[in-house]
Amino acid sequence: MVSVLQTIDSGHEDLIHGAEIDYYGLNLATCSSDNSIKIFDIKNGGQRLKADLKGHGGPVWQLSWAHPKFGNILASCSYDRKVILWKENNGEWTKYYEYNNHDSSVNSVAFAPSEYGLILACGSSDGTISILTCNTETGMFDVKKITNAHTIGCNALSWCPSSLPDAAFDQRSKQNASTNGTQTQIKRFVSGGCDNTVKIWKEDGDRWVEEHKLEVHSDWIRDVAWAPSIGLPSSRIASCSQDRRVIIWNTDDLSTWTPTILNTFDDVVWNVSWSLTGNILGVSGGDNKISLWKENNDGVWSCISEDAENAKEHQRQM
């Protein structure tokens, strides 16, 4: 059963669009149509406002925390076409970097796995995706842009985990390791857009190329989530759409992706999110419900928990 552990009075003056807890679960960042970002200390069940960040000139859609090895860094994106990286130094949050090279609303930001460095992907309504790579020694950013990534616009991004399948499970990995001595994983991420497609991108030298286009949805993609790796030689992506469906995409070789419709809901589905072990999927949407889904040994997905009442109460408060 889904239950409420803690309620935060954010103090935002308009709709809240994003809420992200940091790596250690100590800080909560929220963003809103009131153009602001708030950071709360939530350790030990408390709530203390640490920062009220104002730098955007429009609704702030999404947030992403960087890995703490790079310090306390938070990325935000907004209708004002900007991406801002905020950094905490000695308890003070200030603007670390601002990127303003999109021609329309920036809808999604996602930091890459920390093993790759400090890298941020940004998806925009102008149809492009920007990849920002920071040289942590100089603080300078290199920018690569994928033009025409999604017609009309890109709504969501999620990175492929950095960890490779364990050779104990995957004979291909064992063979490659023994043949080449080392393994180098290609950077990948998944995106979803207003062209109803889910696309997988990979780094190819100094550019990013489309590796796969996954087409089953019949309306705008609202969220995508690449499942965490648990060492098995398989990958899994969840996507949700205004067509009211959640689709699970599975592959054993990153070449052939097989879709499974998890469920058709009563309204648009806005968000999908995996558990840390990658075997439970959280789903929320316009039906004001939050549900958890798990796959059984026969490959059949079923709802294991649902919380409609708390979701409705949250909707009334918003």
CATH number where 98 lies: 2.130.10.10
How many domains does the chain fold into? 1
Q: What is the token pair recorded at 265?
A: 């809901």
pLDDT value, residue 229: 85
pLDDT mean over 116-129: 98
Closest CA to 69 of 12, 18, 114: 114
| 287 falls within a domain | no
Q: What is the pLDDT of residues 206-215, one digit of tens each?
A: 999 999 999 9
Residue 291 to residue 48: CA distance in whole angstroms:
29
Q: Are 154 and 123 in contact (CB under 8 A)?
A: yes
- pLDDT above 80: residue 3: no
The answer to whether 259 touches 241, Cβ cutoff 8 Å, is: no
What is the percent of the chain with per-residue pLDDT over 70, rounded to a whole number? Answer: 89
Per the prediction, the chain carries an average pLDDT of 89
Which residue range(s) make up the domain with 87? Answer: 8-148
DSSP class per residue in 102-146: -SS-EEEEEEPPGGG-SEEEEEETTS-EEEEEEETTTTEEEEEEE
> What is residue 268's DSSP assignment?
-
Can you tell me the distance from the alpha carbon of 225 to that of 280, in angstroms, rounded to the nearest whole number? 12
Residue 164, pLDDT > 60, answer no
More confident residue, 130 or 176: 130
Q: What is the pLDDT of residue 200?
A: 98
Task: Tell me: pLDDT of 275 over 90.
Answer: yes
Residue 278 has pLDDT above 60, yes or no: yes
In a domain, 72, yes or no: yes
Nearest to 64, CA basis, from 31, 92, 89: 31
CA distances from residue 294 to 100, 174, 221, 251, 282 in whole angstroms, order as listed: 40, 30, 22, 18, 9
The mean per-residue pLDDT over the stretch 180-205 comes to 87
Q: Are 80 and 98 in contact (CB under 8 A)?
A: no
> Is residue 45 in a domain?
yes
pLDDT tens figures, 61-95:
999 999 999 999 999 999 999 999 999 999 999 99
In a domain? residue 307: no
Question: 223: closest CA among 281, 276, 278?
Answer: 281
Across 110-120, average pLDDT: 97
* Spatial separation of the C-alpha atoms in residues 252 and 236, rounded to whole Å: 9
292 inside domain: no
Q: Is residue 205 situated within a structural domain?
A: no
Question: Which neighbouring-strand residues pair with 75?
Answer: 64, 85
State the pLDDT at residue 30: 97
In a domain, 26, yes or no: yes
Q: Is residue 163 part of a domain?
A: no
Q: What is the pLDDT of residue 183?
A: 53
Q: What is the mean pLDDT of residues 173-189?
A: 59
Residue 180 has pLDDT above 60, yes or no: no
